[in-house]
Structure 1
């Protein structure tokens, strides 16, 4: 992979911690940062995938890597990640809060624990990790934080109610924090992709007849990281999403909500 000049200038020689790094956008983010010369601390539940990714990127780009298996559904995981990096003297310059998952289906029929865990991983872990790593970044007057949100963060989404709500949280959290810590030289950005090639649909339960065009995870990762390096507080990485979000300003919210209900309605719902 050819390195992005923007990312090379911003991140060469720095350390990045990427959550959810074993698949999809997480792998693509790791690839982009490695190509730019950043060293990587990779975390996710699947240690075997992390080890394979770390070995490949280290051999291909000559970077340093560290693998830290962890499940962010566990409240102790953020502390573990901090102690395995900053706690051992490795300053994290780029925190990538990528880990997350969704659910497509009727809320009333879903598993309660699954819904609660979604909130824990998509929101609580993001807050916990950011709160741990941010003070050191402020002390150094340098640091970047990327938070994975979604275009689902711009309107209520029936049958994905909890997921969309968590992404609203992530987006608002990132945008507010960006304004709060910018004076310390810290950049914070919400990456808001739409349909992306990843394992998200397998976990969420996407409809079999889904025919929307999917953007590559590599493109999403590159545009998101470049936007972060350029100081953008939010990035929608595809033109259709930007047009859609802009157009929503002129349409009643109820209309948008009803349109989303029809789009995401499962076959089992009549």
Structure 2
């Protein structure tokens, strides 16, 4: 029977491992006996986490890389599989978000979300999946979001990239399942992390924000049992279900009312 004990002694690569859910996922995998390869832009944070985990007896390596650079996925692969380290667990967690009116956001910020959330995620999967198929064993977790279930005004690009991530994970899960490779889309709702501050979406921080540790625990448990989708928050599961039955125009209107930045003009009415 599949369990998190299957991770013991295996190498797990965690992207975006310098903060938030990425750090929590690394710690959660370590608690189940996995070895860790940590990658992110900020070497100092990677080193601090690596030191913490090594003190617990975990074998840890770090690879500093900026996934907005198209060359970064190959660099990460060459430093791991290419160097003889067999990666059985790929945690595609790195992501960017930018909150605000699309017309005012910097073009590079909008495109950067696509590069990191979509392009780099696909590139890493394309590099590591063939090796997993050859071994008839592997686990891939892709961090999507509850934002992947509906359009989100003022996070328009971010939500679209997360919908891409979720659908990619679902399609890939069907393709590679016959080879013993499991793929899970982790779809957290509001989570206590740097996201609100870095993206500028502090207005969306509400009561009921989930801890990154709980998100990671439920995500890794779901990955072990082969769940295609994990929505770790009850409210997120309820909203993901409800939006199936509501008109998109109504959803976007309501989100607009909730999330509209201060000073923006009132949203247009939903047409009947």
Q: For this structure pair, what is the TM-score category when the shorter chain's length is used for normalisation? A: over 0.9
The 1:185–1:25 alpha-carbon spacing in structure 2 relative to 1, beyond 3 Å, is: same
Corresponding residue for residue 11 of structure 1: 7
TM-score (norm 2): 0.95
SS at match of 2:103: helix
2:268 alignment counterpart: none
2:196–2:205 CA contact under 8 A, matched in 1: no
In structure 1, runs of 5+ residues without a counterpart are: none
Do structure 1's residue 198 and structure 2's residue 200 form an aligned pair? no
Residue of structure 2 in register with 1:32 after alignment:
28
Q: Say yes or no: does 1:234 pair with 2:225.
A: no
TM-score by length of 1: 0.95
* Equivalent residue, structure 1, for 2:104: 109
| 2:167 is the alignment partner of 1:167 | no
Q: Which runs of 4+ in 1 moved over 4 A?
A: none
Check whether the contact 1:46–1:69 (CA below 8 A) recurs between aligned residues. yes
Q: Give the 3-state SS of the residue equivalent to 2:12 in structure 1.
A: strand
SS at match of 1:109: coil
Q: CA deviation at 1:209?
A: 7.5
Counterpart in 2 of 1:265? 260
What is the match of residue 132 of structure 1? 127
* Aligned match of 2:176: 181
How far is the alpha carbon of 1:250 from its aligned partner? Answer: 2.0
Secondary structure of 2:193's aligned partner? coil
Structure 1 vs Structure 2 CA RMSD: 1.2
- Count residues with an aligned counterpart: 264
- Matched residue of 1:25: which SS? helix
Following superposition, the deviation at residue 177 of structure 1 comes to 0.3
Secondary structure of 1:249's partner?
coil
Whether 2:43 is the aligned partner of 1:47: answer: yes
Structure 2 regions of 5+ residues with no counterpart?
266-272
The Cα shift of 1:264 comes to: 1.3
CA distance in 2, matches of 1:112, 1:69: 25
Distance in 2, Cα, partners of 1:94 & 1:263:
38
CA contact (8 A) 1:78 1:128 kept: yes
